[in-house]
Amino acid sequence: MTQEPGADVHPLDRHRDPFRVDLVRGLAAQVAARYGGDLTRMRRANGYSNATWVGDGIAVRIAHTPADMAREAALVRALPREAGHPEILGQGTAEGHGWIVTAEVRGQNLHEAWPTLTPAEQRQAIRQLWARTLTVHDASPSLRTYVAAHGGFVPATSGDATAAAGRAEAALGLTSAQRSRLHDVLGGYFRAAPLVERTVNHGDLALMNAVWDGEVVALLDFEYAVLGPAEIDLCRLVCEARVSEEGHHVDSEAGAAAVEIAARHMDPVRGRALLHGAAVLDQLRDLDIWLTLDPAEESREDWRPSRLLTGLLDTEGGCLAPLLG
């Protein structure tokens, strides 16, 4: 049974079982010590599916639940240098919890730095984030053996997507028009996806998975890397640049840059269906996570994936409107 979190519990752990939180922290401390780190001197970094601490020249990332990170580590070691991923110093498991230790990268998490950047810097960051991602896409022939065709927000089958859509319909009370559009968008994605070239996508191309030091210097966390249409990464790039944390559309230089990039790189025939479908699948996954949170949790109140999902289901296509017309 989950206990009431104390005031000293990190915000990222407030909805988690305190026993599990303590276990993961203890395992992380042991791993850090092997590489000369002291967790008490290290800072907790952003991240939902894994717990990450950075400092003392290293970054320790450990899975919250028993999971293996061997596939991700193998992929990272094969990435082109231009992706900027920090060097892996070690990888393994501790009581079933996978962990990866990398060299610490100088700079600030891009998500944390974002509000302090000028509009021109934000535009530059979006372009540089995509440039590093594109080096991974271009290396797909040598990387595809390290990734699966589903994972992250990309379900294995259209049936899995339909089930997620059903949960969203029940939770949000979608109108008949929204339900019809939801299924049309998902159907369009699964019809188009087998007909285009499959690319190695980062799979979680969020601002928090990059490091900023006057420029984007590193692309992080490939745990959700997936083989599929390039629109998987493109939809995230657009949403990150054009949607606020509260789920509202934002007009900005960064957003315009993301739209320009997506228009240039999405498939000329099937790109609209793939971009729209991938964005909806992304929000269905986030909605499933959101629904597991206690309604009283502050994190649930602040995080509203339902707002972005319903926007994507309007007639213009929400944050993707400039690309779907």
Per-residue model confidence (pLDDT) at position 51: 95
Per-residue model confidence (pLDDT) at position 301: 52
Per-residue model confidence (pLDDT) at position 7: 45
- 148 or 292: whose pLDDT is higher? 148
Radius of gyration of the chain (CA): 19
- 288 or 13: whose pLDDT is higher? 288
* Integer Cα distance of 200 and 18 in angstroms: 36
Per-residue model confidence (pLDDT) at position 245: 78
Residue 4 has pLDDT above 50, yes or no: no
Using the CB atoms, write b or e for 207-218: b if 16+ within 10 Å: bbbbbbeeebbb
Looking at the chain, the whole-number percentage of residues with pLDDT higher than 90 is 83
Per-residue model confidence (pLDDT) at position 6: 46
Residue whose pair of structure tokens reads 């992250």 in the numeric block: 152
Residue 304 has pLDDT above 70, yes or no: no
Per-residue model confidence (pLDDT) at position 297: 58
- 264 or 7: whose pLDDT is higher? 264
Contact, 132 vs 219, CB < 8 A? yes
**What is the per-residue pLDDT across 268-286, written as a single tens digit (0 to 9) for each?**
999 999 999 999 999 999 9
The mean predicted confidence, pLDDT, of the chain is 92
**What is the per-residue pLDDT across 210-244, written as a single tens digit (0 to 9) for each?**
999 999 999 999 999 999 999 999 999 999 999 98
Residue 298 has pLDDT above 60, yes or no: no
Q: Which of 38-52, 119-133, 183-197 has the lowest mean pLDDT?
A: 38-52
Residue 325 has pLDDT above 50, yes or no: yes
Residue 2 has pLDDT above 50, yes or no: no
Cα–Cα distance list, 43 to 46, 54, 109, 208 (Å):
10, 5, 12, 15
* Integer Cα distance of 110 and 116 in angstroms: 10
* Integer Cα distance of 320 and 235 in angstroms: 8
CB 96: neighbour CB atoms within 10 A? Answer: 11
Contact, 68 vs 107, CB < 8 A? no
Mean pLDDT score, 138-151: 96
* Integer Cα distance of 52 and 178 in angstroms: 38
**Dihedral sign for Cα atoms in the order 9, 11, 16, 21:** negative
Helix (H) or strand (E) holding 172: helix 158-172
- Identify the band that residue 5 occupies on the pLDDT scale cut at 50, 70 and 90: very low
Contact, 256 vs 264, CB < 8 A? no
Per-residue model confidence (pLDDT) at position 244: 84
* Integer Cα distance of 249 and 74 in angstroms: 37
Residue 27 has pLDDT above 50, yes or no: yes
